[in-house]
Structure 1
Amino acid sequence: MNVTVFGATGAIGSLTVDELLTRGHIVTAYARNVTKVPSSWGEKVRVVIGEMSNTEAINSAITGADAVVSALGASIDRKAQGTPLIDGTRNIFDAMQNHGVSRFVGQATPSVLDPQEKSTFITRLSTFMARTFMPRAYEEITGMCRIIMESDRDWTIVRFLAPKHTPRQNRLRVGFFGTDKIGFPVSRADIAAFTAAQVDDAIYLRRAPAISN
């Protein structure tokens, strides 16, 4: 499949690109800064550079795609202003609509509930902490997910709490709060692998599974 990845040069995004390549997909990576593009990609990855406000570049990146993956994450920098990723996500979905791309896989935290999930202690704690200490980031994450979930696209949102820079463990708990046992830490490598696997798997269609090691 042809897969376009947004947030492709981030800690999880770059690992997701590598996973998609390993699985035999053709990847287009959308990045803001050309200096952050890994040299290891070489000519294996088509790279499009642009801001999330650049609708022309976003349209170019999605042209010919079979699926879109977003590893975009809200900045927790206290100096950050505005909610550019909300408008950016809207631009992505407009481009998907224009090009007839249905499959979307994104990432979020348990501050966002799965449509069939009830609030639990962990989701309430996650929401309280985000609202209290990272209100701008909370607004951005929930705003992005609202656009995704209210769309008519075939979306999946992968949720996690405490990403760690540890080796891939190939051991995941996957499910939903209130019905399954989901822990806190999870390796970024496992997040990337699970995200990449959803591109051509419909098991979590229009669902938001939570994962942990």
Structure 2
Amino acid sequence: MNVTVFGATGAIGQFVVSELLAAGHTVTAYARNPAKVPASWPDDVRVVIGAITDPGAIDNAVIDAEAVISALGPSMDRKETGLPLIGGTRLIIDAMKRHGVTRYIGNGTPSIIDKRDKPNTLQKMIGFMGRTMLPRAYRELLGMTDLITSSGLDWTIVRFSAPKDGPKKGVNRYGFFGTDKIGMAVTRADIAAFTAAQLTDDRFHHAAPAISN
């Protein structure tokens, strides 16, 4: 498939690009800062440089896509202001609809409630911490997700709570809170692998599975 990746040079996005290339997909990588584009990427990775608020660049990135993967995540800087990723997500949705792209796969946190969840203590704790410690980032994540889930697109949101560095260990726990056993820690490499796998995995369409190692 021809896949456009937003947040492609981020800590998870770079792993997503690698997973897609290894699986034989064609990748368009959207990045804000050209200096962060890895020199290791092959020449056939199409790179589009632009801000998340740039409708023209976003349209250019989506024009030939068959699916979009977003590894975008809000800044954790408490001094940050504004909600740029909400506006950017709206621009991505608009571009997808304009070009007939229906498949969207993104990332989120357990603060986002899936209708299959039976919220337990862990999920409630994560939501409380997000609301109280990082309220701006919390609002941005929920705003992005609300736009996607009400967009009419064929979406999947992969939820995780404690990303860490390290090699892939395998996503050994996945599903929904209160029904399936979900832990907290998960490597960024495993998040990327699970996210990229949703291109060919039909179990979680219109769903937000939570994952952990």
Structure 1 equivalent of residue 66 of structure 2: 66
- Unmatched runs of 5 consecutive residues or more in structure 2: none
Structure 2 equivalent of residue 10 of structure 1: 10
- The CA deviation string for residues 127-150 of structure 1, in whole angstroms up to 9 with x for no partner, is 110111100000000000000111
Structure 1 equivalent of residue 154 of structure 2: 154
- The CA deviation string for residues 54-80 of structure 1, in whole angstroms up to 9 with x for no partner, is 000000000110000000001001121
Structure 1 equivalent of residue 57 of structure 2: 57
Structure 2 equivalent of residue 21 of structure 1: 21
Structure 2 equivalent of residue 205 of structure 1: 205
Structure 1 CA distance for aligned equivalents of residues 171 and 17 of structure 2? 20
Structure 1 CA distance for aligned equivalents of residues 54 and 71 of structure 2? 18
What RMSD over aligned residues (CA atoms) do the two structures have, in Å? 0.8
In structure 2, the CA distance between the partners of 1:67 and 1:54, relative to structure 1 (3 Å rule), is same
Structure 2 CA distance for aligned equivalents of residues 104 and 163 of structure 1? 21
- Unmatched runs of 5 consecutive residues or more in structure 1: none
Classify the secondary structure of the residue corresponding to 1:79: coil
Q: Percent of aligned pairs with the same residue?
A: 59
Classify the secondary structure of the residue corresponding to 2:18: helix
Structure 1 CA distance for aligned equivalents of residues 143 and 171 of structure 2? 31
Q: Measure how far apart 1:171 and its partner are.
A: 4.3
Q: Measure how far apart 1:170 and its partner are.
A: 2.4
Q: Does 1:140 align with 2:144?
A: no
- State TM-score, norm by structure 2: 0.98
Structure 1 equivalent of residue 86 of structure 2: 86
- State TM-score, norm by structure 1: 0.98
Structure 1 equivalent of residue 166 of structure 2: 166
Classify the secondary structure of the residue corresponding to 1:40: coil
Q: Measure how far apart 1:181 and its partner are.
A: 0.3
Say if 2:171 and 2:194, in contact at 8 Å, map to a contact too. Answer: no
Structure 2 CA distance for aligned equivalents of residues 134 and 91 of structure 1? 24
Structure 2 equivalent of residue 40 of structure 1: 40
Structure 2 equivalent of residue 196 of structure 1: 196
Classify the secondary structure of the residue corresponding to 1:77: coil
Paired residue type of 1:38: P
Say if 2:83 and 2:140, in contact at 8 Å, map to a contact too. Answer: yes
Classify the secondary structure of the residue corresponding to 1:155: strand
Q: Measure how far apart 1:172 and its partner are.
A: 2.0
Classify the secondary structure of the residue corresponding to 2:4: strand
Say if 2:157 and 2:207, in contact at 8 Å, map to a contact too. Answer: yes
Structure 2 equivalent of residue 105 of structure 1: 105
Classify the secondary structure of the residue corresponding to 1:205: coil
1:119-138 to 2 correspondences below 5 Å? 119-138=119-138
Paired residue type of 1:3: V
